[in-house]
Chain A
Amino acid sequence: MEKEFTTASRIEIERDQILTALRSGTVPRSGIDKIRVGRTEEIRELLKDSDRISGGGASIRFLMGEFGSGKSFLLQLAREVAFGKKLIVAKGDLTDSRSLRTTTGSESSIYQVLMDSLSTKQRPDGGALGPILNDYFDACAEEATNEHVNPLVLIEQRVSPLKDFTGGHDYVKILMTYWQGYDSGDEAIKDAALEWLRGSIKTIRDARAQLGVRSIVNDASYFDVLKLHARLFRLAGYGGLLVQIDELTTVARLVNRESRAKNYDRILSFVNDINQGLVSGLGLQLAGTLETLTDPRRGLYSYPALQSRLAENTFAVNGRNDLSGPVIRLKPLTPDEILVLLLRIRGVFDTGRTGESVVPEEAVTGFLLTESRRVGFLSHVTVRDLIIRFVGFLSIAERYPQDSWQDILVKAPTSGDDASPATNDTRRLGEMQDGDGFTRVEF
């Protein structure tokens, strides 16, 4: 049963979702277009990527920027863009126990997380693999009925071409098994097939026993399976598959040199396969800090083969940006862009308000000024922190309309993380400006 939302309440719900996300330092799931600032060049490139993928090509991108520079935000944006091009999106974070390549038995690979997160525009919360298959098979069945053909035959015809690719033989067998279970109502066999596809079958013995195949989706084979998924999704009417992997830094931080090398090797195979046109309908986006790229001992660039393939255009400095290579370096937002961002957030906050804004525009500038006098502003404060505090500021202003915004700024408590002095004291010190009484000499 679908509840009916009025336009007004839907808008309010979105407003709350956005603010709740911002308050906790995460990127809102929906409506991020309302707070997007800048990044036009990056979006353009990502759009081109999505076009390429949905046209049957493939792409790989490395999105690298400082901590808090909006990588996650950009990934979220990329996701929206991908949905717009009818791509299916999978996302996962690398962690200390989850890497691109398992070298000890105890790690799990990123594959399962990616599978759990599969989303479409209509199903943005993950777990979409089953429904995608169901929808596809339903459509095939309907078509078969219209053409007076056995659905099994039609489906087999459709997915057979996948056998030509590495691992395709067993993959197709699993798909057919899934269909059989789906069609006959045998939940057990259908679920088993789904488990296989999601990488949850851990031993070949189980695979053989339950599904009659001699392979599983494991560390060695998951990339091939992702390629197969991409092709399958295209068959199912989508543009393809976009895989987003965040926290690439985890790899660079691996202490064991061999593990690191193996992970970089895996990335190299991603890059090679995609660049050599062996892949169709698959996009990869890997995000991490700048250091992950450039650290001379452990970064991506320390691995010679990767360095040459990822080589950035050395002429693209001083503001000129070359986005044609696989690496996109995210520049931090300029102060102007930050101001616009805060104004946009204020705009979201004001949704549904009649009359004046919760605080005037000078308050936003005043907020930034106060923040910029905070100790460690340049080196330590991230946009994320700024947004959290700004939303807090607006909330207080909304709750105590009788207090002036200046008073609220002065009394604002500091956030817990750094032990810097109360804002009002820093402000007082900031007013006692030092700077006069100096002479410039040269010798």
Chain B
Amino acid sequence: MTENVAGFHDRLTKIVEEFVSNARAELSQRWAAWSVDITTPALHEVLGGLLARQVTLATQLARAPQTWNGHVAPLSLRAMTDGYITLAWILECPATRCDQYVKFGLGQKKLFLEHWKVHLTETGERNVENHPVIKAMEQWLNAERFHFLTEVSVGSWSETDTRSMAEEAGCLDLYRFGYAPLSAAVHNMWHHVIDYNLKTCQNPLHGSHRVPVDPDLAIDPDYLYRAAKYLDKSFRLFDRKTGVSVEVTRSIDALIDALNDALNTLNDSLPDPDMRGAPADNPAARAPE
């Protein structure tokens, strides 16, 4: 049986590499098929960049099976749901929202630069303006937009909250069943901590108090499936809104087929039916998002 499990791991490595390759092909083919208008570079850069970011989050998670657990995977998956909502909200009104997105990001970079200047001044630096960190950051900012023209905004880049963005963009289910629950891990909230970092003491003399723990968790391929699903949702959203159509293998389809094949092979080799895993795509076992 150990040989079969080792064989499964080898197969999983191949499945992951195939997924990474397919996901990148999906991105590059869409970019190639999209009629880029060079007079509005920001629009294409923002949408293309956000889509690429989704690919990166999914492929980096895929290549790190040790992170396929409730401790770490939600950090990437929450970023993916946030990325989807951002993409969907921008696509509702790309011309103005791309600009809004870019300017806020540059403002944040400028704010970081100003914090550096204050810090260097407070720590006795005599020539702050010529400090290499300051010069590098100003150069970076000026390459995008003269830093003295860049405004620093506080608050949200979209001037609204994520829930409202999701509602407006028609993806409230993703917010409710993906973004919000995954936020528990990202923000170290009580309902995450109680499940993952506290264990109830079984000594009856101790009144069922909880003890802090750092448990190792089993690798759960469902987190890979979810990353693939959010990526696929992003691709389909992009296609729908831009009208781009590509003939390319859907990375999620290939992933589900490959995972099911691998799981079936592994299950067939296990003597005890109770040890067998469930199929990779069991919609009944999952929340809407």
Query: Are A and B interaction partners?
Result: no
